[in-house]
Structure 1
Amino acid sequence: MTSLFSRIIAGELPAHFVWQDPDVVAFLSIAPLRVGHTLVVPRREVDRWTDADGETLWRCMKVAKAIGRGVERAWDAPRAGLVIAGFEVPHLHIHVAPVWDMSDFDFTEVTQEEDESALDAAAERLRDALRELGYKQTADAGAPSRETRRVL
């Protein structure tokens, strides 16, 4: 069965993409821990991170590091938090978010972001920070149109 994330990657469902390369994509969470909370996802479906081959896991972590640097810069955060949980969607994904303390990791406190303009602004802010840091894989070129960026 195709995962929700595979459908997003294929363009069947919308998302706010901030990174796209041949192996990995990253898009904003619609239920963020903090503004800028991003999901790093391999294009190839792998359920558990412990099942991923070394190359896939390495690529995801490399992109997660770039996204982490971007969220620190974009939101002037002292740290970029990283969590691999895997219960929400059966497709490997790494949560990366700007964090200020341990309470920022409380997934029981998240609510769905309903303000489309807030998601647009956060995605653009992160893409700008990634470009400033020299990353060329930001999702400007070839990204889905504004109408298809929203994750359902």
Structure 2
Amino acid sequence: MATIFDKIIAGEIPCAKVYEDDHFLAFLDVRPVNTGHTLVIPKQPQSYIFDLDNNTYTNLMALTKKIACHLKEKLDCKRVCMTVIGWEVPHVHVHLIPTNEIKELPLNGPNVKQATIEELSKVAEKLQGL
């Protein structure tokens, strides 16, 4: 089933384009956290960012950096924050959110908790051996 991003890529749904080439598209989010909130997507559908081939992943990150620097300059913000969540639409997309302070980001919601060092140590032990 085609996702909303597939339909945007195909031109079936309009978008406010920030950038486009043969492999990637960047456009303004219709539900922006802040003005200039941009999504950067590969045109080739893939639902999970870490399933991208290395070349596509590297090119996506390089383009994301280029667009973030452009947003920062044009929108005169202090930072452009990046997030990849991966659940909203099953098509890889990077969120670039222009910000001037941390309180503009939803990092203190009801699902965020303070972990103890013991909890963190147990998880860190499980993750050893990379």
Q: Same fold (TM over 0.5)?
A: yes
Greater share of residues in helix: 1
Partner residue of 1:106?
106
| Cross-structure match for 2:8 | 8
Asked if 1:18 corresponds to 2:18, the answer is yes
Secondary structure at 1:89 match in 2: coil
Q: Is the contact made by 1:24 and 1:59 (CA closer than 8 Å) also made in structure 2? A: no
SS in 1 for 2:70: helix
Deviation at 1:81, TM superposition (A): 0.5
The aligned runs of 1:135-146 (5 Å cut-off) are none
> Bigger radius of gyration, 1 or 2?
2
Q: Distance in 1 between matches of 2:106 and 2:87?
A: 15
**For 2:82 and 2:49, how far apart are their aligned partners in 1?**
13
Superposed displacement of residue 105, structure 1:
2.1
Partner residue in 1 for 2:93: 93
Q: Distance in 2 between matches of 1:22 and 1:50?
A: 21
Please list every run of 5 or more consecutive structure 1 residues that lacks an aligned counterpart in the other structure.
Answer: 110-152
Preserved contact between residue 3 and residue 45 of structure 1 (Cα < 8 Å): no
Q: Quick one: percent identity of the two aligned structures? A: 33
**Corresponding residue number in structure 1 for 2:39:** 39
Gap regions ≥5 residues in structure 2 = 110-130
SS in 1 for 2:11: coil
So what's the TM-score if we normalise by structure 1? 0.67
CA RMSD, 1 decimal: 1.7
* Divergent runs of 4+, >4 A: none
| Aligned equivalents of 1:35, 1:51: Cα separation in 2 | 30
Q: Describe the SS at the equivalent of 1:35.
A: coil
- Greater relative contact order structure (CA < 8 Å, 6+ sep): 1
Q: Is the 8 A contact 1:47 1:91 kept in 2?
A: yes
| Paired positions, count | 109
Give SS of 2:69's match: helix
* 2:6 maps to amino acid: S
TM-score, normalised to structure 2, is 0.78
